[in-house]
Structure 1
Amino acid sequence: MSNVRALLLALSLIPVVGVAAEKPAVAPAAAAQTVDDAEAARLAARVKTEFLHAWGGYKQYAWGHDALKPLSKKPQDWYAQSLLMTPIDALDTMLLMGLDDEAKATRELIAKQLSFDKDLDVKHFEVVIRLLGGLLSAYQATGDERLLALAEDLGKRMLPVFDTPTGLPYVNVNLRTGKGQGIDTNPAETGTLLLEYGTLSKLTGNPMYYEKAKRALVETYKRRSKIDLVGERIDPVTGKWTHTSSHMGARIDSYYEYLFKCWKLFDDKDCLAMWTPSIAAANKYYLEDVDGALWSGQVDMHTGARTGHEYGALDAFYPGMLAYSGDIEHARRLQASSFAMWNLHGIEPEAYDYRKKKITAAGYPLRPEIVESTWYLYRLTGDPQYRAMGRKLFEDFIKHCRTEAGYAAIKDVTTMEQADDMESFVLAETFKYFYLLFAPPETLDLDKVVLTTEAHPLQRLSK
């Protein structure tokens, strides 16, 4: 394959349409600088310190609520009543970092304050990946039966969401009545459920959770096109596609992730059998070589015809997934493009048209995906450029997103104006992947653990 460092430098010199003299603040080739073990240990400690800064802001200004608004220093809840999104999402990061006192206080908050007996219509997918996954991971790490009891109660309350003619879940579910509603769904929301529900089945001995979630994944796969691609939107009642754009970005991304990871976690050969043709088709149709750089764009699910050239923050998980599944060559090239996109302004945009060389969505909501891919590539190749790359990402992240009370999303990466928002996933994922990148490899054993799409570590179980 071509020299990655040369590719990074070449990408940094590509002009960007519509932005005068736009160049990376630091050339991507700077990633070649060495981060030795001593420097990595210092960076890991710094990540932990910054995690505690963000967590401390939450504790001071939003304790007991779903999230912190880091600029106004006010609490924010997703629904009429808090579901403790941030504490549950952050708990296993604390455990991984060895923050035992913080983890203990957080466990007590969750165990004593949280109840799912609420008349709330919640977003099924988000509750599964943030809350169900977080509770299960923390239970496996601590053995605290109260966390498993909460996870089982939540799982029972949400199961009716699968009661559709197709087995594909509704978008929303009422936690008290079990009533499902919402028919504008997508492969990510129908197919990113099996790690969490499957683990719940293994831990409780109730196979129903595994069966329902697996059926939803299989039914999504069964509706793929003749060229093995899925679309962007689907109706769970009729099973008909309502939007046929196909890509590796929002609304589809984690569908691919779980095809592979449910095989890794459960040794489910059906998942591997679905993954193999799916990723082959994705690589055949989504990937596009432009001026020597590899990108991933949009195509029509039925014909494979190119319909768009946007790559963004969510697509940036693709290199990590490819590396995890053994495709290091494509992973390296895509990661080079992700890093070049980041370096246009020092923070990645939500979406970038790589043919027009123009940002099409300028926000940055503190997403973790580029850090996730950097970690997987370093972990699986040992190439020191990826730890150096991660250092650059981390320094930029602190520079532009840190606030007095936590970390703030960016409204526009061309101006770096901050937004009053700190999603729980920054504590579940972004800080966790930064920490794993610099911490010793034994911090997390990839042979024994699979990370969910929300970066919650789930342990492989024999039964």
Structure 2
Amino acid sequence: MNRRVELKGIFLLALFLFYAAEGNSFAAKDKISKAEKKEYQERVKTAFKKGWKAYKDYGWGQDAVNPIKEGSHNWYAESLLMTPVDAFSTMYLMGLEGEMEECKELIFSELDFDKDFEVQQFEIAIRILGGLISSYQLDGDERFLELAKELGDRMIPVFDSPTGIPYRLVNLRTGKAGGEGTNPCEVGSMLLEYGMLSKLTGDPKYYELCKRGVVALYERRGETGLLGSWIDVETGEWQDKRAHISGGIDAYYEYLLKGYLLFGDEDLKVMWDTCRKAVDTYLVDENENGYWIGWADMDTGKRGLTRFGALDCFWNLCYVLDGDNERAEKLQASIYNMWKIYDIEPEAIDYMKMEPYEGTEYYMIRPEAIESTYYTWKATGDKKYYDQGKHMFESIEKYCQVDNGYVQLQNVITKEKWDTLESFFFAETMKYCYLFFAPEDVFDFEKYVLNTEAHPFKNTWDKGWKGNKVGLK
């Protein structure tokens, strides 16, 4: 089959899965009343605005807010306006024009990247670089793109390594890179952001340097096709050969598939297919407790931890985008069962015991379980997944809400509060909650791919990467 035709077919299939639930009667097994959806639209907006008010009252100009103590905190020595930049795309989709204006005023008057400290490059890329690029595409203000280019230029020295695998850290002022050890997530889960920067500026260097690291890591995969947990940037030697899809590896895989859908780079599809086959072969674990994805050795495939956590839930959207509803529904059943144990999910469970691993009893208001539920609902049109998403929102309302905002949970068993509200509450958790109930025309999946921070990236070009100098051997 012609690869261009195949690409178009797979992309259209992914889009069909999304549109089927809303646009075709045969996919809508149970209708949802417009009144209920309107009610929940407003409830989710109210939750977002309550969290934003907490930020305005106690964290204005800082990275994040601590509502209970009425304070704030920064990730580094000075603020990078994490919450405002992360929140803008959700404000746009919700139509919160007043909040958007005050957010823009803060960003354009205060956001400064001339900072003499190291940052974790991939976190800044998915949150701030991605947030700025998405805000530019949604809002059209050129200043967002100017800031994005400045940030990209300040972080690009991380790619100057002997192996091509990027360093983890970079000083935003001096460009000095550091962090000789890294993980797959921090190697590949900024490919969408740098690719978008290349597309929007016309400069291929950002994408090509990032892709070089993605390929370099892929070429060091284990005999099973799996990636390990930790690698030396300068030697290319694996330091930890445990394979999984949890934090530290997760979005490397996610971006292979999403990068293919967004850019049409066929190398990414080849790598995704190889990696997915390896995960399905060596990590998938079906047992009496459900369908799970555990841990194994990257070379031998020998099974390790029977651990599945909040971050692992992202794999289900990959099943959906890859057109595999059968596996998606099986994994979704396990994800929802994990949520139901305590009426809200812990960070990770031992799926053989169906209880949290020691030290993982907390809930950070992560979005991935809600994200998975949303994708599964849109793919199947089955109302039970809509009801699951509604339940997850209600759990957040019940357990994470405080008088002046929202906070995380220190313990999902006791429901003890953890006084912090990070930016992804606004960027991801509230966005996915809202999309369950939003009007059909509020978001067009034919035009956008969501990055791992749920920032919409719009395809404004023909598929296929032109002039790419980096590829598989």
- Structure 2 unaligned spans of 5+: 1-28, 463-473
Q: Which residue of 1 aligns with 2:436?
A: 437
Distance (whole Å) between structure 1 residues aligned to residue 196 and residue 422 of structure 2: 25
Q: Which residue of 2 aligns with 1:52?
A: 49
Distance 1:33 1:267, change over 3 A: closer
1:311 to 308, 312, 316: 308
Post-superposition Cα deviations, 1:358-412, rounded to whole Å, max 9, x if no partner, equal 2101011110000101111111211111111111111111100011222111111
Post-superposition Cα deviations, 1:139-167, rounded to whole Å, max 9, x if no partner, equal 00111111111100000011101111011
1:201 aligns with 2:198: yes
Q: Which residue of 1 aligns with 2:125?
A: 128
Partner SS for 1:308: coil
Q: Which residue of 2 aligns with 1:108?
A: 105
Q: TM-score, normalised by structure 1?
A: 0.91
Structure 1 residue 261, shift from structure 2 partner: 0.3
Distance (whole Å) between structure 2 residues aligned to residue 272 and residue 421 of structure 1: 38
1:149 aligns with 2:152: no
1:271 aligns with 2:268: yes
Distance (whole Å) between structure 2 residues aligned to residue 139 and residue 145 of structure 1: 6
Partner SS for 2:308: strand
Distance (whole Å) between structure 1 residues aligned to residue 193 and residue 297 of structure 2: 31
* 1:34–1:385 contact (8 Å) kept in structure 2: no
Q: Which residue of 2 aligns with 1:23?
A: none
Question: What are the residue-to-residue correspondences of 1:224-303 with 2, within 5 Å?
Answer: 224-291=221-288, 293-303=290-300
Distance (whole Å) between structure 1 residues aligned to residue 383 and residue 353 of structure 2: 32
Distance (whole Å) between structure 2 residues aligned to residue 70 and residue 339 of structure 1: 29
Q: TM-score, normalised by structure 2?
A: 0.90
Structure 1 residue 34, shift from structure 2 partner: 7.2
Structure 1 residue 35, shift from structure 2 partner: 4.2
2:116 to 115, 119, 136: 119
Identify which range, 32-41 or 235-244, moves more after superposition: 32-41
Partner AA of 2:122 in structure 1: F
Q: Which residue of 2 aligns with 1:334?
A: 331
Distance (whole Å) between structure 2 residues aligned to residue 33 and residue 86 of structure 1: 37
Partner SS for 1:81: coil
- Structure 1 unaligned spans of 5+: 1-31
Aligned residues: percent identity? Answer: 48
Distance (whole Å) between structure 2 residues aligned to residue 275 and residue 299 of structure 1: 19
Structure 1 residue 356, shift from structure 2 partner: 2.1
Question: What are the residue-to-residue correspondences of 1:356-435 with 2, within 5 Å?
Answer: 356-360=353-357, 361-435=360-434
Structure 1 residue 292, shift from structure 2 partner: 5.8
* 1:377–1:386 contact (8 Å) kept in structure 2: yes
Identify which range, 45-54 or 290-299, moves more after superposition: 290-299
* 2:63–2:74 contact (8 Å) kept in structure 1: yes
Distance (whole Å) between structure 1 residues aligned to residue 220 and residue 165 of structure 2: 11
* 1:33–1:388 contact (8 Å) kept in structure 2: no
Partner AA of 2:451 in structure 1: T
* 2:338–2:354 contact (8 Å) kept in structure 1: no
Partner SS for 2:206: helix
Distance (whole Å) between structure 2 residues aligned to residue 325 and residue 436 of structure 1: 21
Partner SS for 1:173: strand
* 1:93–1:428 contact (8 Å) kept in structure 2: yes
Structure 1 residue 108, shift from structure 2 partner: 1.4
The count of corresponding residues between Structure 1 and Structure 2 is 432
Identify which range, 132-141 or 38-47, moves more after superposition: 38-47
Partner AA of 1:254 in structure 2: A
Partner SS for 1:289: strand
Post-superposition Cα deviations, 1:194-240, rounded to whole Å, max 9, x if no partner, equal 10001001111111101111111111111111221000111111111
Structure 1 residue 33, shift from structure 2 partner: 9.1
Q: Which residue of 1 aligns with 2:165?
A: 168
Post-superposition Cα deviations, 1:89-130, rounded to whole Å, max 9, x if no partner, equal 000100011011111110111011111111111110110000
Partner SS for 1:432: helix
Structure 1 residue 41, shift from structure 2 partner: 2.1
Distance (whole Å) between structure 1 residues aligned to residue 417 and residue 342 of structure 2: 14
Distance (whole Å) between structure 1 residues aligned to residue 199 and residue 30 of structure 2: 45
* 2:289–2:352 contact (8 Å) kept in structure 1: no
Distance (whole Å) between structure 2 residues aligned to residue 421 and residue 184 of structure 1: 29
Distance (whole Å) between structure 1 residues aligned to residue 65 and residue 305 of structure 2: 36
Distance (whole Å) between structure 2 residues aligned to residue 144 and residue 33 of structure 1: 41
Distance (whole Å) between structure 2 residues aligned to residue 247 and residue 440 of structure 1: 37
Post-superposition Cα deviations, 1:326-358, rounded to whole Å, max 9, x if no partner, equal 111111111111111111111101110011222
Q: Which residue of 2 aligns with 1:218?
A: 215
